[in-house]
Amino acid sequence: MNLNDLQATEKQSRTDVNNNQWFFPFADKLCSLGSATMSMQQLCVLCFIAKQGTNGALTKDICSSLNVSLSSIQRQLGRLNKGYKFKSKMGIMEREGLNLLEDFQDPNNRKQYRWVLNKNGVRFFKQLNSVVVRYDKGDV
């Protein structure tokens, strides 16, 4: 299956768009946090870490569950954490992060780190949940 297989057989009407009321506040919340740059991969990483709770998620577990390379996951973790540095033609650049995660050393293996949501990350998930819950209550 590819994207061409997902084409609609008819045009979407305005009422179809308006029936997706929960999606727009949800998307707006994501864009407001990430300055319209939060990718789906970042959202998947964030959700995976949130599901792990206070135990945290190992970087290698995130890679294997999402089937994504280590370098890509490290870049996403940096963006979701405090930021990361990278090389470009203009020298070493630094990209600011979203400050939703924190890391700590794995007590079983000091070479590995575990990732958990910080206070901002927990608050962000509560706000996303309230967007969806508000729609569900209004829909009933």
Residue 46 identity (one-letter amino acid): L
Cα–Cα distance for residue pair 96/122, rounded to 1 Å: 19
Provide the residue ranges of all domains of the chain, joining segments of one domain with +: 29-139
Please name the fold of domain 29-139: Arc Repressor Mutant, subunit A (1.10.10)
pTM, whole model, 2 decimals?
Answer: 0.68
Across the range 105-121, mean pLDDT stands at: 90
pLDDT digit string (tens) for 42-56? 888 988 898 898 889
* 3 state DSSP class of 44: helix
Residues ≥6 apart with Cβ < 8 Å to 95: 78, 79, 83, 84, 85, 86
Average pLDDT taken over every residue of the chain: 77
| pLDDT tops 60 at residue 87 | yes
Tokens 């540095």 map to which residue? 85
Question: What is the predicted pLDDT for the residue at 58?
Answer: 94
Residue 73 vs residue 6, higher pLDDT? 73
Residue 23 vs residue 103, higher pLDDT? 103
| pLDDT tops 80 at residue 23 | no
* 3 state DSSP class of 68: coil
